[in-house]
Chains A and B, each alone.
Chain A
Amino acid sequence: MIRLEKRKEPSKFWRIANPFLAVALTMVAGGIMFAMLGKDPITAIRLIFFDPIFSETFGSYSRPQLLIKSAPLILIAVGLAIGFKANIWNIGAEGQYIIGALFGAGVALAFFPAPGWYIFPLMVIAGAFGGFLWAMIPAILKTRFNTNEILVSLLLVYVAEKILAAMALGVMRNPDIAGFPGSRDLRRYEAAYNAELISGTGIHWGVVAALIAVIFAYAMMTRHMLGYHVQLAGQAPRAARFGGVSPARLVVICLGISGALAGLAGMFEVSGPGGQVRIEFASGYGFTAIIVAFLGRLNPVGIVLAGLLLGLTYIGGELGQMMLQLPGAAIQVFQGMLLFFLLALDFQTNYRIRLTQGARA
């Protein structure tokens, strides 16, 4: 007979090993899925995980793409992870990402076509502020009225999508091109363009910001009192309260940080790779970042690795669509499976499997 026995302490080994195991299992399960779709599984898996970096034909295009796709994921996930650690569930990062982009683009469009070094920094501030504001809605409702932050932050994603559509069709529409939705192309407005900093690498200001965020988050979680409070509130909420940690303050801080970072990610995207405010601007980074946070074990360094991996699946997915006519949704399934396997494997971290013989007394 098999039974689970709770470990006295979570296993450090499995904590580190499980993400790798989950990726391997996802590759196997994904291969089976591709085989069922009538594609050669080995080719498909190679195309998604190896060719974007190592292939000679696509490499030069897709290597810089890796940083472009991973940076927003990492930026958002670092913020989310802080909240998740404290059991504060911001799952509406997608909405904060959109609002951040709208605030950033709003500043740019207001200054158009004036030149000025100060415009881009202002956009950065506006983007972070937009995401922060949007995250403050669930935060304040939670602290003032005890409203569930999971539901509110998620429902606000749909509201943000509608605002995005309204902006793309209304106030922010490019007045020079009649009849088409979408704003001016910020890539053609030098003062607002989030350009590639070193050509051929994909490094733009968003990548720099992601790196800074990772370092700050790491320092905060390991060295700062706030990081300690976050950990304490997550693992022993009662002890935290007796220790003088204000739950309300923590909710505001965690949601605020993750909102601001998501807003930043949106702003860097709209002023660079995305280029303009369009109805289809939101591409699900805010949701994928949840997977990144878990896969990275809510640890800033782990999140960098996880972000790179999931960024890779985005590019690999595009390659797969191009080369093998893989359906675009296959990548979403892939990402979902990854989270499943990770969660399932994690029981080994907290429990030990015991084989007991015969009936127990």
Chain B
Amino acid sequence: MILGSINPAVLMAALMVAATPILLAAIGELVVEKSGVLNLGVEGMMIMGACLGFIVAVNTGSPFLGFIGAAFAGMALSLLFALLTQALMTNQVASGLALTLFGLGLSALLGQRYVGITPPRTPKLDLGFLSDIPFLGRAVFSHDIVVYLTIALVAAVWWFLKYSRAGMILRAVGENHDAAHALGYHVKRVRVLAIMFGGACAGLGGAYLSLIRVPQWTEGMTVGAGWIALALVVFASWRPWRAMAGAYLFGGIVVLQLNLQAAGVKIPVEYLSMSPYLITIAVLVFISSGRARASSNAPGSLNRPFHASS
């Protein structure tokens, strides 16, 4: 009786929307980690994107400009991380944490006059006859453009890492920075660019939350989405398509949990809403243990500082 009230097409549609912000952040972080850098500041960059994207969109009336602003906000914060870890050789874990704490504070400060405002609406893409297909039309072909661009971005990152020359250099830098350096590649330049890309993606993911998914600005509204994106990269064993599968799986859990809340299941809301975090932990455990062990696929130089001695 409970499950009967849930329409699978609507569920699928909501799932794609729920998955998009973490997928955006995760695909960015995946590229960063592939270059050998662990940026734990995803949560901070996301919330800055959510905040700045919201502010720009409200003031210009254009969600598009909002997303651009969010990408720049995330990138700006990631540049701070790049400066610290690449130029000043700081500890990546500590710097990432600092980025998150700083981003959470700064966004709360900047966004305080924007609480309770409704942002301009992002139009749904008109896909003509595709949207009229029964079931699929409602589930897959009735979204805003960002959902599709995100999928395109996953494809682009997959192609970039697998087939492009620049992507191979990036992977070489991430696998063995000493060898890459010896071959004449600019380890730090590659890493800074990767970090900036990751920042822009996290910013976009944040803006998707504040402009489309929620859509509103509240302090600390990412509630761990950035950390879940980090977990997703491990879950995906650094493979783009797997990251997408993971994000959609995760989106499904979130949506199902929300539906169960709405359907009035006899479990207190608090316990249902902790399920996404618990499931993320369970998946991390599964991935890191036993035969499914994927950590062997981790980039060789991940979280190791590089300093050219000559």
Judged by a CB distance under 8 angstroms, whether B80 is at the interface is: yes
Q: Is the CB of A162 within 8 A of B271?
A: yes
Interface string of A211-242 (1 = CB under 8 A from B): 00000000000000000000000000000000
Is A243 interfacial (CB-CB < 8 Å)?
no
For residue A328, which residue of chain B has the nearest CB?
B108
A-B interface contact total, Cβ < 8 Å? 135
- Chain A: residues with Cβ within 8 Å of the partner, total of 48
B84 and A329 within 8 A (CB): no
Q: For chain B, give the interface size range.
A: 35 or more
| A 138-155 contacts with B by CB, 8 A | 141, 144-148, 150-152, 154-155
Taking CB as reference atom, which chain A residue is nearest B105? A332
Cα of A29 to Cα of B83 in the assembled complex, Å: 17
Complex CA gap A351/B307 in Å reads 11
By beta carbon, the residue of chain B nearest A291 is B101
Contact of B227 among A89, A154, A327 (CB under 8 A): A154
Instruction: Contacts A158-B224, A343-B94 given; indicate if A327 touches B109 (C-beta within 8 A).
Output: yes
Chain A residues whose C-beta falls within 8 Å of the C-beta of B227 in the assembled complex = 151, 154-155
Q: Is the CB of B289 within 8 A of A343?
A: no
Stretch of A65-73, A111-119, A165-173, A263-271 on the interface side: A165-173
Majority SS at the chain B contact face: helix
- Among B192-200, B238-246, B273-281, the stretch that binds chain A is B273-281
Q: In the complex, A286 Cα to B280 Cα: how many Å?
A: 22
B-chain residues with CB within 8 Å of residue A350 when the two chains form the complex: 89
Question: Contact: A144 with B277, CB < 8 Å?
Answer: no
Interface: B91 (CB within 8 A): yes
Interface locus among A96-104, A126-134, A333-341:
A333-341
| Beta-carbon contacts under 8 Å, B3-51 to A | 40
Q: Report if A209 contacts B (CB, 8 A).
A: no
> Chain B residues near A150 (CB, 8 Å)?
40, 93
- B109 neighbours in A (Cβ, 8 Å): 327, 329-330, 332-333
For A144, what are the chain B residues with a Cβ–Cβ distance below 8 Å? Answer: 289
Asked if A159 is at the interface of the complex by the 8 Å CB criterion, the answer is yes
Task: Flag whether B168 is at the interface (Cβ < 8 A).
Answer: no
Contact A335 B101 (CB under 8 A): yes
B97 within 8 A of A: yes
Does A151 contact B231, Cβ atoms closer than 8 Å? yes
Interface string of B78-90 (1 = CB under 8 A from A): 0010011000111
Taking a contact as CB atoms under 8 Å apart, the answer to whether A347 and B88 are in contact is: yes
Q: What chain A residues lie within 8 Å of B309 (beta carbons)?
A: 6
Contact of B274 among A158, A331, A339, A346 (CB under 8 A): A158
* Residues of A near any B CB (own CB < 8 A): 4, 6, 89, 91, 141, 144-148, 150-152, 154-159, 162-163, 165-166, 169-170, 287, 290-291, 294, 327-337, 339-340, 343-344, 346-347, 350-351
A-B CB contact pairs (8 Å), 12 listed = A4-B307, A144-B289, A146-B289, A147-B281, A147-B289, A150-B40, A151-B281, A155-B277, A329-B108, A331-B105, A336-B101, A336-B105
Residues of B within 8 A of A (CB): 40, 80, 83-84, 88-91, 93-95, 97-98, 101-106, 108-109, 112, 219, 223-224, 227-228, 230-231, 234, 268, 270-271, 273-274, 277-278, 280-281, 284-285, 288-290, 293, 295, 307, 309
